[in-house]
Amino acid sequence: ETGVTQSPTHLIKTRGQQVTLRCSSQSGHNTVSWYQQALGQGPQFIFQYYREEENGRGNFPPRFSGLQFPNYSSELNVNALELDDSALYLCASSGGLAGSITDTQYFGPGTRLTVL
Amino acid sequence: LAKTTQPISMDSYEGQEVNITCSHNNIATNDYITWYQQFPSQGPRFIIQGYKTKVTNEVASLFIPADRKSSTLSLPRVSLSDTAVYYCLVGVEGGATNKLIFGTGTLLAVQP
């Protein structure tokens, strides 16, 4: 069974640029959630996708957007990057049999984004 | 605004039982409470999940009172390798969309 994978592992961008982060969910999972974790802080929920539809969203501006594909992999897009967007971006997948937002989530290793 | 709070840090010795409590004052009625362990520069690792009363697995127990406004993670006999940050995760009600909130995190330091 393949776990959650994310790419790239590290990324450096400059302020104002756009970035796309990718996540492959664990085999058999149909729900993907994205989190932002600043250094020394807990993860902050960005949004969740269940069967290609947004199933929940945290307090992030519209320049944070996402997609889920028919194979349940997902992308996180961030436009107009700001210095405060520097963080570890975590993806988690879950089975979502009932579409509950709190179904058990399994996390990937994260993508470290640095904005200069 | 929903708050999910935990003690900032706890110290323990190898072999002791450790209990970490999370207070969640605005938890959604139908959602689970989940606990995770996180080591530096890694994604959180699932420990245990429950809805009410008590749940036990091979590594931990989870105690949830009837009002579900708090939960307690119990690690029965900690070892040095249990030194990590522990988070609770809950769903919260209110607003136009579902939200997930991690607790503030508890740094557990286990000493020999």
B50 shares contact with chain A (CB less than 8 Å): no
What confidence category does residue A98 fall into, taking pLDDT thresholds of 50, 70 and 90?
low
Whether residue B12 lies within 8 A of chain A, CB to CB, comes out as no
Q: What's the CA gap between B90 and B109, in Å, rounded? A: 24
Residues in chain A with CB shorter than 8 Å from the CB of B97 are 56-57
Residues 6+ apart with CB under 8 A from A9: A109, A110, A111, A112
Residues in chain B, pLDDT under 70 = 1-2, 93-96
Check CB contact under 8 Å for A90 and B102. no
Please tell me the distance in Å from B93's CA to the nearest CA on chain A: 11
Cα B73 from chain centroid? 5
For A12-39, how does the pLDDT look when each residue is reduced to its tens digit (9 = 90+)? Answer: 999 999 999 999 999 889 999 999 999 9
Q: Which residues of A touch B45 (CB under 8 A)?
A: 107
**Residue A6 vs residue B100, higher pLDDT:** A6
- Cβ–Cβ below 8 Å for A43 and B87: yes
Query: Which B positions 20-39 lie with beta carbon below 8 A of chain A?
Result: 28, 30-34, 36
Phi then psi dihedrals of residue A85, to 5 deg: -80, -10
Q: Are B103 and B87 in contact (CB under 8 A)?
A: yes
